[in-house]
């Protein structure tokens, strides 16, 4: 009896998770309860999609983790927050966040001949997973450097696939380390100085990879980090995220990269 009840519970959770990941009305209601501005963000996106259709001018789609929300309600920006996705697992079919499936779903609705795509991933890897996996798998020789290299290798599969599919893409760099404590209770969580060092080094490697492969890279780290590699209050929305003051810098970079006329 207990096993049957457990199996039923798994099926029920799977059903609702499927509804959530298909981004239908269930997802809309779920987001709206916890985020009262979400319905207005949907209207914002709908307006700019109609505008782009009528003017034939491109939009920029920001796809990724919660750091996409720094660009909510910006003109000609459409934000697709697909959950707590990591860069490391984005290429995997069965990641726990379902990030690859959600990425494919979002991309299927983008006009690749007209619009641009900015991928926003990696902050969660830097804040949590590099240090956690390094400490957890020390005995297996999992150095921070090897974990970073492996993550960029995984990410490269996603990037090359998008380029082959005809998307115009750019990579959004990792924001500076911020003040958030170990709120999720990880057994291994880097100190502020360790997280700052990890973020700085990973940005360096990611930027070098993008340069080598002719992929535009938006270096928000260099534009915002203080002298110690941390997120300064003027750019902080909270203890993790950049606020909307980063938008003018990003618009300027997108204008230079894609020849746009974003204001």
What element of type H or E holds 119?
Answer: strand 116-120
Comparing 4-13, 22-31, 151-160, which segment has the lowest mean pLDDT? 4-13
Query: Contact at 8 Å (CB) between 169 and 116?
Result: yes
| Chain mean position to CA 224 | 18
Comparing 16-25, 119-128, 149-158, 165-174, which segment has the lowest mean pLDDT? 16-25
Q: Helix, strand or coil for residue 217?
A: strand
Give the pLDDT of residue 16.
Answer: 54
Compute the Cα dihedral for 192, 198, 204, 210 and give only its sign.
Answer: negative
Hunting for tokens 């501005």 — which residue is that?
Answer: 37
Query: Contact at 8 Å (CB) between 78 and 60?
Result: yes
Express each pLDDT in 46-102 by its tens digit.
999 999 999 999 999 999 999 999 999 999 999 999 989 999 999 998 887 789 999
In sequence order, what DSSP letters do the residues of 44-98 get, joined into one string? HHHHHHHHHHHH----EEEEESGGGGGGTT-TTEEEEE--S--TTTTT-TT-TT-
Sketch out the chain's domains with CATH numbers.
1-34 (no CATH), 37-258 (3.40.50.1110)
Distance CA 44, CA 153 (A): 35
């Amino acid at each position: 009896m207990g096993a049957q009840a457990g199996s039923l519970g798994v099926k029920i959770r799977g059903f609702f998770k499927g509804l959530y990941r298909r981004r239908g009305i269930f997802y809309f209601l779920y987001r709206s309860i916890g985020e009262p501005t979400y319905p207005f963000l949907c209207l914002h996106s709908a307006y700019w999609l109609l505008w782009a259709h009528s003017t034939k001018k491109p939009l920029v789609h920001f796809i990724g983790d919660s750091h996409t929300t720094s660009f909510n309600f910006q003109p000609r920006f459409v934000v697709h927050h697909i959950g707590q996705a990591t860069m490391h697992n984005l290429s995997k079919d069965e990641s726990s966040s379902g990030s690859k499936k959600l990425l494919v779903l979002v991309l299927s609705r983008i006009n690749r001949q007209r619009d641009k795509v900015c991928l926003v991933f990696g902050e969660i890897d830097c804040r949590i997973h590099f240090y956690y996996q390094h400490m957890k798998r020390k005995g297996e020789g999992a150095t921070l450097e090897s974990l970073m290299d492996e993550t960029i290798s995984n990410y490269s599969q996603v990037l090359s696939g998008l380029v082959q599919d005809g998307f115009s893409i750019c990579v959004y760099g990792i924001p500076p380390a911020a003040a958030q404590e170990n709120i999720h209770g990880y057994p291994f969580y880097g100190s502020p100085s360790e997280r700052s060092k990890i973020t700085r080094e990973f940005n360096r490697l990611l930027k070098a990879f993008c340069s080598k492969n002719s992929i535009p890279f938006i270096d928000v780290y260099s534009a915002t980090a203080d002298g110690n590699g941390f997120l300064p209050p003027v750019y902080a929305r909270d203890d993790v995220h950049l606020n909307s003051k980063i938008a003018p810098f990003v618009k300027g970079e997108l204008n230079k990269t894609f020849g746009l006329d974003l204001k």
